[in-house]
Structure 1
Amino acid sequence: MNIANLSETTTEVCLSGFHALSDPLRMNVIERLRTQEMCVCDLCDELEVSQSKLSFHLRVLKDAGLVKARPQGRWTYYSLDLTQFTALEQYLADYRRHSPIIPTRLREEAQ
């Protein structure tokens, strides 16, 4: 499979997800949210960044479908949205299963 054979929607989803994961601060956010929902204020404290800077990065993650937001009172709580992670994982798994660059020995072991 290559990106030219994907549907336009799948291509956009993959590109958006991988772009969102390409930034170190956004990866740190993802790591913090791996085990728990967190308030934006706690994320700012832990990551030592301003709320305006973090809000930009959270919007990129949210637009890519990697996190979801839940407003409560004056704060917003963020958690991972695993649906998008599953789509990205599937995309990468297809390469692992069908790639001609995998050495023959590894392909034989996988079967």
Structure 2
Amino acid sequence: MRDLLAITKALADENRLRALGLLRGQELCLCQVVEVLGLASSTVSKHMSILHQARLVESRKQGRWAYFRLADDDAPGEALQALELVLASLQQDKQAKADQRALKAVLKLEPEELCRKQANCKC
């Protein structure tokens, strides 16, 4: 029950759903997610922490950079099922499609360049 509550709480926010959509099939730096979502880095960091606590995403640090990716097969079954549902639902979502277009432009930039551009970058 505890895992299910954490998952449902994590999925109860549009920006967290958008972040999950961005991570489909790739690992992203926090600043890349910040750039696409258009939110403060502290806000996105909190969103990613909630997703991590629900075991929907994995994270790693490399130097000053924080990277995130979707949970792998070691995650609880509930988390994997929830991810499957969310990603399938986002396939036809207008905002998710716009986010993917924005992400293509962001991926052309180096994380250092994004950090210089973003005020209060935590990277």
TM-score, structure 2 normalization? 0.60
The amino acid of 1:39's aligned partner reads C
Residue of structure 1 in register with 2:56 after alignment: 66
Residue of structure 2 in register with 1:77 after alignment: 67
Alpha-carbon displacement from aligned partner over 1:41-97 (angstroms, at most 9, x marks no partner): 11111111110010111111011111111101111000011424x32429xxxxxxx
Where relative contact order (Cα < 8 A, 6+ residues apart) is larger, the structure is 2
Superposed counterparts of 1:1-111, under 5 Å:
11-82=1-72, 83-84=75-76, 86-88=77-79, 89=81
Q: SS at 2:68's partner residue?
A: strand
Q: State the superposition RMSD in angstroms.
A: 1.5
Bigger fraction of residues in helix: 1
The amino acid of 1:53's aligned partner reads T
Q: CA deviation at 1:38?
A: 0.2
Percent of pairs with identical residues: 33
The amino acid of 2:78's aligned partner reads A
The amino acid of 2:64's aligned partner reads R
Q: SS at 2:60's partner residue?
A: strand
TM-score, structure 1 normalization? 0.66
Larger Rg: 1
Alpha-carbon displacement from aligned partner over 1:9-54 (angstroms, at most 9, x marks no partner): xx00011111101100000000000121000011111111110010
Residue of structure 1 in register with 2:85 after alignment: none
* Structure 2 spans left out of the alignment, 5+ residues: 83-123
